Chains A and B, each alone.
Chain A
Amino acid sequence: MSTLDTLQNLVRELVILIILAVTLELLLPHGDMRRYVRMVLGLLIIVAVLQAGMSFWHRELAADLSWLSLGPPDQAATAEILREGERLWQAGQSRAQAEYEQGLARQIRGLAGLNPDVAVTAVRVRTTAGTPDGQPGRLEEVILVLEGEPLVGEDRPVWAAPAERSDPEAVERLRRIVADFYSLSPAQVTVEYQE
């Protein structure tokens, strides 16, 4: 909302306030009581004008906070704010999930590196996304990429000896270690050979 819109809102509020004051003035009784009621009514008008002025002043100080508004937010503005919040939450969630998966992959690769019988070249993990109520994502699947079949094409020199697959028993042992370490079922830890 631009400064011009803010000023427009302020003027609109003041005009409505004047109409309210005049209407209330009509209600005042005659006689001695009138002075007292007018005094209270004047205080009310002062409060309202100062509140409107204060809102405008603070808005000028914090002009970069575009979500501030003088009046009560209408339904459209509220929905827009909620949508923006949802979008920000999803972006943050995706980033957190990606970093979580990278960290887990590094951990598993380090764990697999302790076993010299199996040469793990890469680790891929798959996690579930967290929920808006604060539940974190869960580890769903671990894919261990092992050295095995010889590479073809430009990736591998033609004079290099073909790599051999790791010992199946050692691979199975590694799968179980990883599964036990992360409380997964063995079926959730799969092995792929680098083609």
Chain B
Amino acid sequence: MEITQIVGFALVAAVLVIILRQYKPEIALLVSIAAGVALFLVVLGKIGAVIEILQDLSRRANVNMVYLGAVLKIVGIAYIADFGAQVCRDAGEGALAAKIELAAKILILVLAIPIVMAVLEILMKILD
């Protein structure tokens, strides 16, 4: 089972990081980042099926694909920013983590503009 492999890999990486942190903290941080990226890449391929289902549901619900694409991008931005911020916090760089989160929030708001405009347009149509 894949989950067993993933959990095993994470446990091995965690033990390795704990041991390395005592002797070489900088290497321990790199190992932690590499393990996180590897786990992220392993599950990245699986998310394609979920996105296909979401697209199918959107088609059935007559939701514009542009809006769904924007939402998926926003979810992706949130995950990547969260991942980056956690890595920065693990490295003791809380300020940098906050900057990553700020950048992600701005990007999310920028991507949300078309959806906000769509809501406004529909409300204007209703009120006309």
Contacts and interface: CB of A to CB of B under 8 A. Distances in A.
Contacts of A43: 112, 115-116, 119
Contacts of A50: 119, 122-123, 126
Contacts of A27: 50, 75
Interface size class, chain A: 20 to 34
By secondary structure, the B interface counts as helix
Interface string B32-68: 0000000000000000001001100111111110011
A33 to B, nearest CB: 4
A48 B78 contact: no
Contacts of B58: 20
Contacts of B74: 36-37, 40
Interface in A8-67: 13-14, 16-17, 19-20, 23-24, 27-34, 36-37, 39-41, 43-44, 46-48, 50-52, 54-55
Interface string B6-27: 0000000000000000000000
A33 B71 contact: no
A46 B104 CA distance: 23
B75 A20 contact: no
B84 to A, nearest CB: 11
Interface of B: 50, 53-54, 57-64, 67-68, 70-71, 74-75, 78-79, 81-82, 85, 101, 104-105, 108-109, 111-112, 115-116, 118-119, 122-123, 125-126
Interface of A: 13-14, 16-17, 19-20, 23-24, 27-34, 36-37, 39-41, 43-44, 46-48, 50-52, 54-55, 70-72
Given A34-B78, A36-B78, A47-B122, 11 more contacts: A13-B62, A17-B61, A20-B57, A20-B58, A20-B63, A24-B71, A32-B101, A33-B81, A43-B119, A47-B63, A71-B62
